[in-house]
Amino acid sequence: MKKILILANSDIGLYNFRKEIIQGFVEENYEVHISLPNGPHVKKLIDLGCIFHETSVDRRGVNPLIDLKLIINYIKLIRNIQPNLVLTYTIKPNLYGGLVSRILNIKYIANITGIGTVFQKESFLKKIIVILYQFSLKNAETLIFQNTDNLSVFKNNKIKGKNATLVPGSGVNLLDFPYTNLRNNEEVNFLFVGRIMVEKGINEFLYVAKEMQYEKVKFHVVGEIEDPNLKKIVYQYNTEKIIDYHGFHKDVKKYIEKCDCLINPSYHEGMSNVLLEAGSMGRPLIASNISGCKEIIDDSINGYLFDVKDGESLLKVVKKFTELTNDEIKKMSKASRKKIEAEFNRNNITELYINFANNIIGGNINA
């Protein structure tokens, strides 16, 4: 039996965005191993047919001793499982999983789902990360990118594997996020879903909400406050009814269904899952004109793009949206669903991954 080992840093992300890929591997008679921290979705992953290996991953820390422990755990794990292919997601699994796979001469694929802030300016940390990437990913069978900008950044920094492949993100399950009709509200409801931090553009969203607080609009925020400096202003705006803050929720479908338009003012993305999900449900979209967002929005067709980090630019397109007629909004709604169906169906992306794996491993492998 063919064995595949998936290295990730979160059970929630792996289940929500990649469960169909896992199901595809199971149906192809792969023995699927997953290595990640324990969490609420692990049982669901096991129920899909995975063999779970609990592995602690410090997602944001830079403690070398903790990272060394992760490398040692990966060495033990890969030697024990002897997978035919290792599939890695997110920065530390990519770096250290790639490093160990290369050292142990195991075939591997690395998914570049985003590059974060480290590449946005020159620093000592960036130099270290680039060197690590160059060494760790050199023998990767392919590096999978979600947008052309991230691909260009890696090329410019001479980070490469044997091949590079562009896929349209994780896609979206069209059945999990079905088209729902817009509600005919007197007020226009705008929705922000994401981690509440500066890099997700929450300040621009709050600026627009305050500027438009006396108009027939409502601004809703769903997400965990990760930046403690933003906690006071979010709660203050909620108290003053400038926004409705709903806290963190695992399932955001009910909030998408109630909104008229989803706004993603993020500064950088791999491929925005929340835009894909809202688009699948037929919601017009507004987002920063950046890679990972602009691929999902056809400007003035299923939404609007605005200048990243620019509150005035966002305000302009939000006001433009409020001036649309109901028929124009409904037309945008249908265009969003049509766009997602045509370009971001997760079933098609699952098929790509199965083909990658089968071509890399080649033929039938006996247990």
Q: Decide if 81 is inside a domain.
A: yes
Rg (CA), the chain: 21
What is the structure's pLDDT at 117?
Answer: 72
For position 94, which CATH number holds? 3.40.50.2000
Residues 141 and 222 in one domain: no
Q: For the ranges 42-46, 89-93, 209-213, 257-261, which has the lowest average pLDDT? A: 89-93
pLDDT class of 113 with cuts at 50, 70, 90: confident
What is the structure's pLDDT at 61?
Answer: 65
- The mean pLDDT of 43-65, rounded to a whole number, is 88
Domain count, the chain: 2
pLDDT, tens only, 283-296: 999 999 999 999 99
**Is residue 181 a contact partner of residue 282, using CB atoms and an 8 Å limit?**
yes
Residues 30 and 115 in one domain: yes
> Which amino acid is it at 5?
L
Residues 44 and 157 in one domain: yes
Q: Decide if 367 is inside a domain.
A: no
**Is residue 280 a contact partner of residue 256, using CB atoms and an 8 Å limit?**
no
pLDDT, tens only, 133-184: 999 999 999 999 999 999 999 999 999 999 999 999 889 999 999 999 998 7
pLDDT(204) > 90: yes
Question: Which uninterrupted H or E stretch holds 79?
Answer: helix 64-81
Residues 6 and 43 in one domain: yes
Q: Decide if 77 is inside a domain.
A: yes
pLDDT class of 364 with cuts at 50, 70, 90: very low
Residues 11 and 63 in one domain: yes
Q: Decide if 178 is inside a domain.
A: no
What is the structure's pLDDT at 277?
Answer: 97
pLDDT more than 70, % of the chain: 97
- The mean pLDDT of 60-73, rounded to a whole number, is 84
φ and ψ of 82, to 5 deg:
55, 60
pLDDT, tens only, 320-359: 999 999 999 999 999 999 999 999 999 999 999 999 999 9
Angle 122-123-127 from CA coordinates, rounded to 5°: 95
Q: Decide if 113 is inside a domain.
A: yes
Q: Decide if 176 is inside a domain.
A: no
- Distance (Å, whole) CA 294 – CA 305: 7
Residues 356 and 325 in one domain: no
pLDDT(273) > 90: yes
Residues 204 and 324 in one domain: yes
Q: Decide if 366 is inside a domain.
A: no
pLDDT class of 366 with cuts at 50, 70, 90: very low
Residues 254 and 137 in one domain: no
**Segments in the chain forming alpha helices (H):** 11-27, 42-47, 64-81, 91-92, 98-103, 124-137, 148-156, 202-211, 228-239, 253-258, 273-280, 311-322, 326-343, 346-361
Question: Which uninterrupted H or E stretch holds 285?
Answer: strand 285-288
pLDDT class of 64 with cuts at 50, 70, 90: confident
What is the structure's pLDDT at 362?
Answer: 79
- Residue 221 vs residue 61, higher pLDDT: 221
What is the structure's pLDDT at 242?
Answer: 97
Average pLDDT of the chain to the nearest whole number: 93
Six-digit token string for 105: 């001469």
φ and ψ of 77, to 5 deg:
-65, -50
Residues spanned by the domain of 338: 188-343
